[in-house]
Structure 1
Amino acid sequence: MPHFISKFIVIGCVFLLISSCKTDPSKSDQLAETDAELVDDTWEDHKFSMFIHWGLYAIPAGVWNGQEITGYSEQIKGHAKIPTEDYRKLAAQFDPIHWDADAVALLAKQAGMKSIVLTAKHHDGFCLFDSEYTTFDVVDATPYKKDIVKELAEASKRHNLKFGVYFSLIDWDYEGALPFESVDNSDAIPALHHQYNLNQIEELLTNYGDISEIWFDMGSPTYEQSKEMAALVKKLQPNCMISGRIWNDQGDFVVMGDNKQPDFKMGVPWQTPASMFNETWSYRSWQERGSVADKVAEKINDLLKVVSAGGNYLLNIGPKGDGTVIPFEKQVLAGIGEWLDKNGESIYGTRSTAIQEQDWGMITSKPGKLYLHIIDFPENNKLKIKGLDLEVKKAYPFSDISMSLESIMTDTGYEIDLTNQLTKDKYATTIVLEYENELLITPAQVIEANENKEVILTKENAEKYHSYSGHDYYSTKATVIKMKWYIRNDSEAPSELKVVFAAQKNKRYKLAINNEEHTVSSLSSDHHQDSNSYELIIPSINLNNEKLNEIELSLVDPSNPHQGLSIERLEIIIK
């Protein structure tokens, strides 16, 4: 990161680094959203991928000793308390004669997916790849005797799909791990077990070509263990994305909870892992499946929620023990694929926007285009987009580019007349707005001066951006990594800005005022060892009185994008 340091100012025990850069004025009293140039084929552009949970657990299929076992069926060894020697016997039955890696890859393509992530090793310790560090793998322990990871990696490459692997950090079979007793997803990783994990990670990233992502899961590694695994991944495959479940802030992207979507803004790359049924990820013989159409609608809706919020959607299938993909899941994927075949441009390579949340559906964007995905049609056939002002070249349904929809600006936002000629999609109808010039947005919260002609910014009235941070599944929580405020200024005179905050010592923060950067450091002092209150005064700042002003607070150091701001108290006063 470049350092623009002009001078040091000392106030009490605080060292302040102040720097500045030029900004572009705008004539609109709104936020101008800049469309970043999109990079083709990056991990964030894929948006929709296939997860596959498959292993020995598919043989009992949720049943043990004649009883239906609740809990995730891929964890049946733990939920049914199956002794290791009994569970290992399942390997002799694993001969998936109906497994067809090319057919699975083609199914993913039919569904509109851009990559596949396979459970190379789940918690039970059984490996779907040929590992020289255990005989409890598909080549050495089963009648099948073929490397399934290799088969699917090669099939994915043949069909132009990215390929990734899931790797469990806990292992209920390995003798060097903590003794297996029951389902415990946050076991510590003893030194011998950690080395075993490193050995198998190296195998997976060396023997199977390019790996787009490695999907770590569970366990409670130390910071040093997480860091060592991440370093190994980047050494072997620098472009491989690392899931946040490597823990200790060493991942490239955040993984939400199972089937969860954030109800807050994310500030880092993220992904929602989704099962076809919330009750299980692997195949379960007694699972109630319901209506295919209802499931297609549910998953398209979830896909739109995730993508419009800036995330990627990883949807799982669970083949049977013989390798068969069950018809229900095939039909659901085909239904999603049919919709994406018509509407894919509005998903792949898109970005989220700062436009307010809408009550009718979701919005995605590309430079010069907005894609409106209507789930709930307005009763009066007038679609209103709150907080938006733009010069529209053309508004049309994605299903019929020749149709032009009437649209106008109103006092409350942009309005589109959804003519009766419009054919509604049974899952989500996509409307395209092609616009010129800037995309002007009025955020949901704009802060103005009070009766004392002061603008007061706090933690409470900030727009917050988050990551996830923690050392295991149960300690991980949303952390605020950035705060942002939009303020309106009616004065042409320069303003004074004062920041008073309480934070951990030795933290350095970047305060950006319309992109003009000021760095505030809460450095420890010989004279104020017990104090954590700090103050910054900028005597003269020039705020724009013709557009919304943006003020943003984040950490200076970008090396850990998941680290929280750790600010206990904050008040920014502008007068």
Structure 2
Amino acid sequence: MNAQTTYTPAPENLEARKWFQDAKFGMFIHWGLYSLLSDGEWVMNNRKIPVKDYERLTSFFNPVDFNPAEWVTLAKAAGMKYITITSKHHDGFALYDSKVSDYDIVDRTHYKKDILKMLAEECQKQGIKLFFYHSHLDWHHPDYFPTGMTGAGLGRPEGGDFNKYLDYMDAQLTELLTNYGPIGGIWFDGWWDQKTKGRETKIDWRLGKTYSLIHKLQPAALIGNNHHVLPFAGEDFQMFEKDLPGQNTSGFSENQQVGQLPLEMCETMNGAWGFNINDRHYKSSRQLVQLLVNNAGHNANLLLNVGPMPSGKIQPEFMKTLQEIGEWTKANGETIYGTRGGPIPPRDWGVTTQKGNKIYVHILNWKDKTLALPSVDKKIKSAMLFSDKSKVVFSQKADALILTLPKIDENAHDTIVELEW
């Protein structure tokens, strides 16, 4: 059995889901030993680096420039409401002081400090919720056997007790949920490593037991799993990797339909999750603002990734773009935060969001002054540009709502028309 057959969310969990849907924007952080090699978070697998050789990186990982206040302040200034950080990625190395393993930043590096403890304290101080990404698969642990689609040829034993590995994973999750204060949730990844077809895997992940443990330790903590299929019972939100809900341009969501849980899309600021010194494919602030708006129109959050450098500093290119995004969210956040997808489904020209008795028409790709929309079932009493409150002439008919804009700024990230009914 892959997950609980029945699951009734606790009241505090349902409240957390509402908060999550209101939050709309979060920071994803991929950081670990792999950052040292400056070639992304999959470098151990991609270069076939044996476990014993990869372990040597612990001698060099000493992020003396890590400043949790700078990270959280940057996220907050960008308009982000939560942070999701890799507690343990596929390479098995933990960024916190684990007591069930010495393969962590405190026991194996010269740094000797618990990154997650420092970040959790700063998040609580600044009012940002903290989520932990935790990898199901593990290229380092000897009991992660049978190996799945990844991690072959890394010098691990040809044998192991998978249930013993799952006990280890649950023990680490227990540490994360008992030693770091209130946690927003757990973001799982790697279930697909053992995938066969559809919603099945070659092995039993004991998700029901793991999910029950999490909900028992922190009932408000939200569980999501990046397994690329419809959510299992026991999960509290559904994520989409590098795609808007219902789309599959990246190839990850071939069998993934949009379910009924709160939604989230994760995306990179260049092409990589972990630090990659050769990746210069930076997305512009305009692209990322429009992605945030598109997600809101699809009733989803955007979890936008940064891959800090080995020193602990965030790339200046990312910082600049996040500052520019922050200028936009400061001016226009009212049309995003606390909203739900609007009454007009997403179109090529843009999307709509709604809150209370207001509908926000986000025009992202349109050059003409007149825009014809499908009809809405509310009687519109006023229309204005959100930016300067200038009047927008409108005509509401049985089969259409026609807007005549006073001006179109083709350089604007988003032209927003506020409709009141």
Distance 2:411 2:16 in 1: 30
Distance 1:208 1:124 in 2: 22
Q: CA deviation at 1:428?
A: 0.8
One-letter amino acid of the counterpart of residue 79, structure 2: G
Q: For 1:331, what is the secondary structure of its paired residue?
A: helix
One-letter amino acid of the counterpart of residue 35, structure 2: A
RMSD over aligned Cα atoms: 2.5
Q: Does 1:269 align with 2:262?
A: yes
Corresponding residue for 2:186?
214
After superposition, the Cα gap between the structure-2 partners of 1:261 and 1:181, relative to the gap in structure 1 and judged at 3 Å, is closer
How far does the alpha carbon of each residue in 1:226-272 deviate from its partner, in whole angstroms, 9 at most, with x for none? 00000000000000000034774431111213445423764322211
After superposition, the Cα gap between the structure-2 partners of 1:84 and 1:55, relative to the gap in structure 1 and judged at 3 Å, is same
Distance 1:359 1:173 in 2: 45
Corresponding residue for 2:342?
353
Q: Does 1:203 align with 2:165?
A: no
Where does 1:61-460 land on structure 2 (aligned, <5 Å)? 61-62=38-39, 73-178=40-145, 183=150, 190-219=162-191, 220=194, 225-245=206-226, 248-263=232-247, 266-278=259-271, 280-290=272-282, 295-379=284-368, 381-401=369-389, 403-410=390-397, 412-420=399-407, 426-435=412-421
Q: Is the 8 A contact 1:79 1:182 kept in 2?
A: no
Q: Is the 8 A contact 1:356 1:387 kept in 2?
A: no
Q: Is the 8 A contact 1:389 1:414 kept in 2?
A: no
How far does the alpha carbon of each residue in 1:502-522 deviate from its partner, in whole angstroms, 9 at most, with x for none? xxxxxxxxxxxxxxxxxxxxx
After superposition, the Cα gap between the structure-2 partners of 1:358 and 1:260, relative to the gap in structure 1 and judged at 3 Å, is closer
Corresponding residue for 1:446?
none
Q: CA deviation at 1:123?
A: 0.5
One-letter amino acid of the counterpart of residue 281, structure 2: R
How far does the alpha carbon of each residue in 1:508-563 deviate from its partner, in whole angstroms, 9 at most, with x for none? xxxxxxxxxxxxxxxxxxxxxxxxxxxxxxxxxxxxxxxxxxxxxxxxxxxxxxxx
How far does the alpha carbon of each residue in 1:327-377 deviate from its partner, in whole angstroms, 9 at most, with x for none? 111111112111111110111111113424433211000110001111122
Q: Is the 8 A contact 2:375 2:396 kept in 1?
A: no
Q: CA deviation at 1:392?
A: 2.2
Corresponding residue for 2:253?
none
Q: CA deviation at 1:126?
A: 0.4
Query: Normalized per residue, which structure has more helix?
Result: 2
One-letter amino acid of the counterpart of residue 293, structure 2: L
Alignment length (residue pairs):
380
One-letter amino acid of the counterpart of residue 239, structure 2: V
Corresponding residue for 2:156?
none
Q: Is the 8 A contact 1:244 1:252 kept in 2?
A: no
Q: Is the 8 A contact 2:17 2:262 kept in 1?
A: no
Q: CA deviation at 1:179?
A: 6.6
* Bigger Cα Rg: 1
How far does the alpha carbon of each residue in 1:20-64 deviate from its partner, in whole angstroms, 9 at most, with x for none? xxxxxxxxxxxxxxxxxx9996111111100000000000111xx
Corresponding residue for 1:571?
none
Distance 1:189 1:47 in 2: 40
Distance 1:382 1:276 in 2: 33
Q: CA deviation at 1:75?
A: 1.1
Distance 1:81 1:404 in 2: 61
How far does the alpha carbon of each residue in 1:129-157 deviate from its partner, in whole angstroms, 9 at most, with x for none? 10001111010101110000111111111
Q: Is the 8 A contact 1:289 1:328 kept in 2?
A: no
Q: Is the 8 A contact 1:44 1:349 kept in 2?
A: yes
One-letter amino acid of the counterpart of residue 250, structure 1: G
Q: Is the 8 A contact 2:66 2:312 kept in 1?
A: yes
After superposition, the Cα gap between the structure-2 partners of 1:77 and 1:39, relative to the gap in structure 1 and judged at 3 Å, is closer
Q: CA deviation at 1:378?
A: 4.1
Task: Report the TM-score, using the length of structure 2 for normalisation.
Answer: 0.84
Distance 1:331 1:337 in 2: 10
Distance 2:16 2:54 in 1: 46
Q: Is the 8 A contact 1:95 1:322 kept in 2?
A: yes
Distance 1:174 1:127 in 2: 12
Q: Is the 8 A contact 2:20 2:262 kept in 1?
A: no
